[in-house]
Structures are given as structure tokens and as C-alpha cells.
């Protein structure tokens, strides 16, 4: 479970998160929406202890992320908004293997994870491809595969579908469905609710650093349009 309690984050005088509280149970498929600058990225970065709260707490499976950031980064897989920044190796296979190698897993297990993760992003068999020779959308898929290969307990994806073609999008969505059904909590930050709202358990909307809507998609979708969120109706 990811638990955010009264989280405040300021950038200088600007309040990016204003006493946000949110609990994400295991196995929940949650969409985090809201206009540009509403605080979505700031909130999810706290789940990985990449930012320090001005006040409030974030715990993952009961552990305060600021006290044990390494544990937080192991149990919360993160796909960032600019996936190129997340890629570390020269080839696709080496990049996806990087995280599992750091977990100290055996080679056979690393290879299994790489194979499965690449299949999930529709890049099966592309281990030898050079990262630099990939398109932006393909690089985004490698970043998603890298997070999947960690087999984290929680998965947070910040705008993961930007630049993905329909086939890759469907493949990744199928994987996210499977993971949520198996008990992984899945948080997707998105501006595009198409084919997401029907599979989500819950939608949380932020505006100006505050949660302004929170509930099942049917209840929340009518509230989204006035916030400037395209609900894809």
C-alpha cells in the first residue's frame, strides 16, 4: 500500500502540493489526472523519495520513504515523463537488464524478466538494438520495460502512453491489467483517458495542488470536464 498523508511540497513560495492525502491499496488501478501544473508529477516523485516533503509523510508498505529511499525505489517501479532520461545502457537488452542485475538476481532469472518485459512493450527479440537508433516512442517502451523487469510491488507511470503507437499501447495496457489483477498497485498519470477510464478502479483529480475529485470512474468523469481534463467521452 502507498499512503500519502497531509503532504505539502513547495517550490520556493509556490505551493505544488497542499496537504494531499491519498491511499493506494495493493491491486488498485488508479488514474491520476489534472491540468498542467496541478502537481501530479510532484506527487508521484514523492512515492520514490525523489523529493523531500515540506511536511507530511509518504509510506510504502508501512515504511516512510524518506527513512528508507532504497526500499521505496525497489518496491515502487517508476516510469518518468521523459523516458530518455531513464535509459542507462547502449542496447535495449542491457538497459532492461540493468535494474534486475542490481538486485543481484541470477542470469537465468534476469534473462526471463528481460524477455517478458520486452514482450509486454511489443519489443520482443530486440535485445541487441541500440538505444540511440530507436525512435522516441520505442525509447519510451524500453523505459517501461525497465520498470516492468524490476517486478515491483507498485508501479507508477507518468504519462507512459505519450508517443506510443496503438499496438504498443494495447500491449502495455494488457500488461498493466494483468499486474493489477495479480495485486500490483498501478498508478497512471495521464491527460488521455481513452481506453483507460473503463479499466481503472479509481480516478483521482488534482487541481492547484489539491485533490478535487476522488472516486470510481463513473462518479468522477462528469467532474473532469470543468477541470479541463478531457475524459474521452
Reported residue count of the chain is 233
> Is 36 near ligand ATP (CB under 6 A)?
yes
CB of 228 to ligand ATP, least distance (A): 10
CB of 85 to ligand ATP, least distance (A): 14
Which CB, 11 or 52, lies closer to ligand ATP? 11
Which CB, 11 or 177, lies closer to ligand ATP? 11
Dihedral of CA atoms 163, 60, 57, 102 in degrees, nearest 10, equals -70
CB 191 within 8 A of CB 159: yes
Sheet holding 2-11, edge to edge: 14-24, 2-11, 55-60, 63-64
Which CB, 41 or 185, lies closer to ligand ATP? 41
The residue with cell 534476469 is 110
> What beta strand segments (E) does 34-149 contain?
55-60, 63-64, 76-79
Which CB, 151 or 192, lies closer to ligand ATP? 192
CB 32 within 8 A of CB 206: yes
Q: Which of residues 176-215 bind ligand ATP (CB under 6 A)?
A: none
CB 33 within 8 A of CB 203: yes
> Is 160 near ligand ATP (CB under 6 A)?
no
Select the residue interacting with ligand ATP from 38, 86, 184, 207 (CB under 6 A). Answer: 38
Select the residue interacting with ligand ATP from 24, 41, 86, 97 (CB under 6 A). Answer: 41
Which CB, 42 or 184, lies closer to ligand ATP? 42
Dihedral of CA atoms 214, 220, 226, 232 in degrees, nearest 10, equals 130
What distance separates the 2 farthest-apart alpha carbons in the chain? Answer: 51
Which CB, 14 or 108, lies closer to ligand ATP? 14
Going residue by residue from 6 to 35, which x/- string records binding to ligand ATP, judged by CB under 6 A?
-----x--x-x-----------------x-
Residues at the contact surface with ligand ATP, assessed by CB under 6 A: 11, 14, 16, 34, 36-42
Amino acid at each position: 500500500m502507498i499512503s500519502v498523508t497531509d503532504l505539502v511540497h513547495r517550490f520556493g513560495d509556490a505551493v505544488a502540493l497542499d496537504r494531499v492525502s491519498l491511499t493506494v491499496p495493493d491491486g488498485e488501478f488508479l488514474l491520476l489526472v489534472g491540468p498542467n501544473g496541478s502537481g501530479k508529477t510532484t506527487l508521484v516523485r514523492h512515492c520514490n523519495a525523489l523529493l523531500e516533503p515540506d511536511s507530511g509523510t509518504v509510506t510504502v508498505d508501512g515504511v516512510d520513504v524518506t527513512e528508507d529511499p532504497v526500499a521505496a525505489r525497489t518496491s515502487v517501479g517508476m516510469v518518468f515523463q521523459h523516458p530518455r532520461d531513464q535509459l542507462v545502457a547502449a542496447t535495449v537488452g542491457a538497459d532492461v537488464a540493468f535494474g534486475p542485475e542490481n538486485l543481484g538476481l541470477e542470469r537465468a532469472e534476469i534473462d526471463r524478466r528481460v524477455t517478458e518485459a520486452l514482450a509486454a512493450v511489443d519489443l520482443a527479440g530486440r535485445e541487441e538494438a541500440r538505444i540511440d537508433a530507436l525512435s522516441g516512442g520505442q525509447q519510451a517502451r524500453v523505459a517501461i520495460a525497465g520498470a516492468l523487469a524490476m517486478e515491483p510491488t507498485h508501479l507508477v507511470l507518468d504519462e507512459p502512453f505519450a508517443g506510443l503507437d496503438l499496438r504498443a499501447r494495447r500491449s502495455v495496457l494488457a500488461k498493466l491489467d494483468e499486474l493489477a489483477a495479480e495485486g500490483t498497485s498501478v498508478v497512471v498519470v495521464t491527460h488521455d483517458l481513452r481506453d483507460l477510464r473503463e479499466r481503472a478502479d479509481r480516478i483521482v483529480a488534482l487541481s492547484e495542488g489539491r485533490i478535487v475529485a476522488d472516486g470510481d470512474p463513473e462518479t468522477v468523469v462528469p467532474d473532469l470536464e470543468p477541470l479541463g481534463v478531457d475524459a474521452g467521452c
